[in-house]
């Protein structure tokens, strides 16, 4: 390419000299024209051989999500009241037992300490409502400590009323501070239920 460019310049100069005569101005103009032609040819050659740069693909980083830790809830601990009883059984006088008027009997319940406090010898059995049937208003029911989960038989001496009918008496326990409590879950009372049948014997008058 460079050799062809040189021949081109030489030809242009020769033509100028041959046509116009060997004047300095003509020679200068011919040289300028040849230089411009050479510059344009060089730029064309550079453009033809300039490689096209292909941009490298941009790599997008992949973000791996951090696994979320699953928290297992801790089960709530059941809170037991200090004083609460559980009914186990009627040891004597099941509900609806028939009695004669004025008949004496002993009612016994089997209860369980379902609370978190010990029942001590200071705990009491108390009458809270219904038919008292000659029973005490308050009485001791144990001479030992009853620990949580343990059972105890609670008894009271009663007398059937003289009139026929159904009679129900309600009872609870009482702690050393005088607070009454009953059966789980609502601390309701436990009870005795009897049915008096017949009539009370008529007193025979004493002869004078």
Average pLDDT over residues 101-123: 98
Q: What's the pLDDT at 79?
A: 72
pLDDT tens-place string over residues 63-105: 666 656 666 655 555 678 999 999 999 999 999 999 999 999 9
Residue 29 is inside which H or E element, if any? Answer: helix 24-49
Average confidence (pLDDT) over 109-124: 98
Residue range 149-203, pLDDT digits in tens? 999 999 999 999 999 999 999 999 999 999 999 999 999 999 999 999 987 666 6
208 in a structural domain: no
The pLDDT, as a whole number, for residue 14 is 46
Same domain, 39 and 130: no
Structural domain of 189? 85-196
Q: State whether 111 and 181 are in the same domain.
A: yes
What is the count of structural domains for the chain? 2
With a pLDDT cut of 90, the percent of the chain lying above it is: 56
Q: Is residue 18 part of a domain?
A: yes
* Residue 96 shares a structural domain with residue 140: yes
13 and 103 both lie in a single domain: no
Report the predicted TM-score, pTM, of the whole model to 2 decimal places.
0.61
DSSP 157-188: EEE--SSSEEEEEEEEEE-TTS-EE-BTTTTB
User: What pLDDT is stored for residue 29 in this prediction?
Assistant: 62
Which positions ≥6 away from 188 have C-beta within 8 Å?
182
Whether cis (ω within 30° of 0) applies to the bond prior to 173 is: no
Tell me: do 44 and 93 sit in the same domain: no
Q: What is the pLDDT of residue 199?
A: 75
Phi-psi region of 38 (alpha: psi -120 to 50; beta: other; left: phi over 0): alpha
- Kindly state the average pLDDT of the residues 47-51: 50
């Amino acid at each position: 390419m460079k050799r062809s460019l040189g021949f081109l310049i030489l030809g242009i100069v020769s033509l100028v000299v041959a046509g116009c005569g060997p004047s300095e101005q003509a020679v200068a103009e011919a040289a300028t024209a040849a230089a411009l032609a050479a510059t344009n040819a060089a730029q064309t050659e550079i453009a033809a051989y300039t490689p096209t740069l292909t941009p490298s693909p941009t790599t997008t980083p992949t973000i791996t999500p951090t696994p979320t830790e699953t928290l297992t809830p801790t089960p709530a601990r059941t809170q037991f009241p200090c004083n609460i009883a559980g009914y186990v059984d009627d040891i004597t006088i099941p509900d609806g037992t028939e009695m004669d008027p004025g008949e004496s009997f002993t009612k016994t319940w089997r209860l369980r300490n379902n609370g978190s406090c010990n029942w001590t010898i200071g705990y009491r059995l108390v009458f809270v409502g219904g038919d008292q049937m000659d029973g005490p208003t308050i009485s001791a029911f144990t001479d030992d400590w009853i620990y949580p989960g343990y059972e105890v038989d609670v008894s009271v001496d009663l007398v059937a009323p003289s009139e026929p009918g159904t009679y129900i008496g309600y009872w609870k326990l009482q702690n050393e501070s005088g607070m009454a409590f009953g059966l789980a879950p609502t601390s309701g009372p436990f009870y005795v239920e009897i049915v008096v049948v017949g009539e009370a014997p008529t007193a025979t008058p004493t002869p004078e």
